Structure 1
Amino acid sequence: MSGSGQWGDLTARLLSGLVLATAGLGAVWAGGYYFVSFVSVVTGLIAWELTRMLAPEDGLRTVVMGAISGVAGFLAIYFPAGFALPTLLVPAIVGYAWLPRHRGIFVPFLVFILLAAFGMMSVRSEFGFVWMLWLVLVVAGTDIAGYFAGRLVGGPKFWPAISPKKTWSGTVAGWAVAAVVGAVFMLLTGAGAWLVLLSAATAFASQLGDIAESAVKRRSGVKDSSALIPGHGGLFDRFDGMLGAAILVLVVMHLTGYPPGPV
């Protein structure tokens, strides 16, 4: 493989990553309404991309599904706990009634997207800026390490039938970098050694989110979730890892209360 072929998407990845990182970190820092609004807009656009991949002929419905999903994500974080889950399920119920095909894929994936959005909002609102920053850095570090290790080291594929570019070297490198991020935050916050293990597990959840989105794209016969990011696909392509990671952290957070609260 030529150098230009191997690294042909690097410039696009860097530019899109810089723009998204600036917007995302700004929203993380601001918190509150600004972060909830940012996540809700991203959620709505990802839901639109998912609907568009599975039902490209239903143009108006894809837009409506995106809007309903974004609004549901926004409202759920402000509702009492008993109303949050039903609110998040509303878009999936509407989608099940509307979409004639691929319901078995669409419904669980839309619930997955909305739960992940709720997870990100919960981490920021309940645990504060530091732990949301930890989550962002774990996911970003996993993605960056996997990208470079996969191209520099190569080797056996992790799951070639679904994600032919993903290698074991990139996968393990992602775990290692996430563990390092966890170790740094452990030292800075006194969270304990469990944070290193949780960081590696979060990296793996992030990689599974990436693979899950790849499976949807292969099922739909598309290369990218959309063309929202010029020259480099859609928001689902960029946030797939965060979706998987956020759900794991949401589960751990509510079952154990770990990480140990705002810093």
Structure 2
Amino acid sequence: MNNPDRWSDLATRVGSGVVMVIVGLGAVIAGADVFHGFIALLCGAMVWELARMLAAGRGGALAPGLGALTTVSVMVSIYLSGLLAGPVLLAPAIIGTAVMPRHRSVFALFTVLVVLAGYEMMQVRDSFGLVWIFWLVLVVVMSDVAGYFAGRMLGGPKFWPRVSPKKTWSGTVAGWIGAALLGLVFALATDAGLSLVPYSVLVAFAAQMGDIAESAVKRMVGVKDSSNLIPGHGGFLDRFDGMLGAAFFVLLTGALIGLPPGAA
């Protein structure tokens, strides 16, 4: 029997989602400095939320500075060579580790994930163009949307109840299927081979692991959402945790197989 409460947040989520799609789509299409600035601001907002969660009482004093430093570091890094970009990207994690009163290793690891994922998003847009940044974003969106509706409609056993009590196996598998279908569409519409289909599923799985990693951090510090900046979605970390996992996976595998497959 359907419980109407399970859909109580749908209208708010959709409204906020539409606004995010419009803003994000505009930034992606504009490209160059506009997209770089958009990604840098997102990364700064996520590190701000992270510091607030992990530093508790002192988070209010530390978070703005660490968020601003992250924004500047990500924005500057894309205009530097690879050897110079690395230290600049790592600066927020290194400085944050020195000043955070607790959970320093968690802050460092998650901040590294944020900045590297942001850097890879900018690289994909700059190097491969609109088609492949849309592929990356849409794989994450499709996985999230399919997982949301399948999980709410079908329910069933939990995927990892100790870490993410709301995530179900039905939603997880639905996310993989959605990503596979999207990968097939892009494989047929581009010169990428059918290897893009299983690769898209792996990207979706990485996105789901990003979501679970953020859930683990929230459970560790005892908060429901990373912030309340996005109505119906919580904070920027809550909304873009999947993108962090996906982009980081693309960054790690890109040097080995060339990414996106067939794009070169």
**Could you say which TM-score interval applies, normalised by the shorter chain?**
over 0.9
Q: Is the 8 A contact 2:16 2:232 kept in 1?
A: no
Alignment of 1:188-227 (within 5 A): 188-227=189-228
Alignment of 1:170-181 (within 5 A): 170-181=171-182
Partner residue in 2 for 1:22 = 22
Q: Is the 8 A contact 1:183 1:193 kept in 2?
A: yes
Q: Secondary structure at the match of 1:19?
A: helix
- Equivalents in 1 of 2:64, 2:255: separation in Å? 33
Partner residue in 1 for 2:148 = 147
- Equivalents in 2 of 1:128, 1:251: separation in Å? 19
Q: Is the 8 A contact 1:146 1:170 kept in 2?
A: yes
- Map Cα deviations across residues 38-57 of structure 1 (whole Å, 9 max, x no partner): 00001000000000000132
Q: Secondary structure at the match of 1:166?
A: strand
Alignment of 1:48-87 (within 5 A): 48-58=48-58, 59-87=60-88
Matched letter for residue 27 of structure 2:
A
- Map Cα deviations across residues 42-100 of structure 1 (whole Å, 9 max, x no partner): 10000000000001322121100000011111111111010111111110110011012
Displacement, 1:220?
1.1
Matched letter for residue 234 of structure 2:
G
- Map Cα deviations across residues 168-199 of structure 1 (whole Å, 9 max, x no partner): 01000000000000000001002001100110
Alignment of 1:6-45 (within 5 A): 6-45=6-45
Instruction: Name the Cα RMSD after superposition.
Output: 1.2
- Equivalents in 1 of 2:87, 2:9: separation in Å? 40
TM-score (ref. length: structure 2): 0.96
Displacement, 1:231?
4.6
Q: Is the 8 A contact 2:93 2:112 kept in 1?
A: yes
- Equivalents in 2 of 1:4, 1:12: separation in Å? 15
Which structure 1 residue ranges, 4+ long, deviate > 4 Å from structure 2?
none
Q: Is the 8 A contact 2:44 2:70 kept in 1?
A: yes
- Equivalents in 1 of 2:162, 2:117: separation in Å? 25
Q: Is the 8 A contact 1:128 1:261 kept in 2?
A: no
Count, aligned residues = 262
Displacement, 1:230?
3.0
Displacement, 1:29?
1.1
Question: % of aligned pairs identical?
Answer: 55
Partner residue in 1 for 2:246 = 245
What are the ranges of 5 or more consecutive residues in structure 2 without an aligned counterpart? none
Partner residue in 2 for 1:110 = 111
Moved more, 19-28 or 208-217: 19-28
- Map Cα deviations across residues 208-259 of structure 1 (whole Å, 9 max, x no partner): 0000000011111110100111353111110000000001112222322222
Partner residue in 1 for 2:96 = 95
- Equivalents in 1 of 2:98, 2:251: separation in Å? 28
Partner residue in 2 for 1:261 = 263
Matched letter for residue 122 of structure 1:
Q
- Equivalents in 2 of 1:149, 1:2: separation in Å? 13
Q: Secondary structure at the match of 2:56?
A: coil
- Equivalents in 1 of 2:156, 2:231: separation in Å? 31
Displacement, 1:25?
1.3
Q: Is the 8 A contact 1:47 1:113 kept in 2?
A: yes
Q: Secondary structure at the match of 1:56?
A: helix
- Map Cα deviations across residues 118-139 of structure 1 (whole Å, 9 max, x no partner): 1111111111110000011100
Matched letter for residue 11 of structure 2:
T
- Equivalents in 2 of 1:56, 1:8: separation in Å? 30
Q: Is the 8 A contact 2:128 2:263 kept in 1?
A: yes
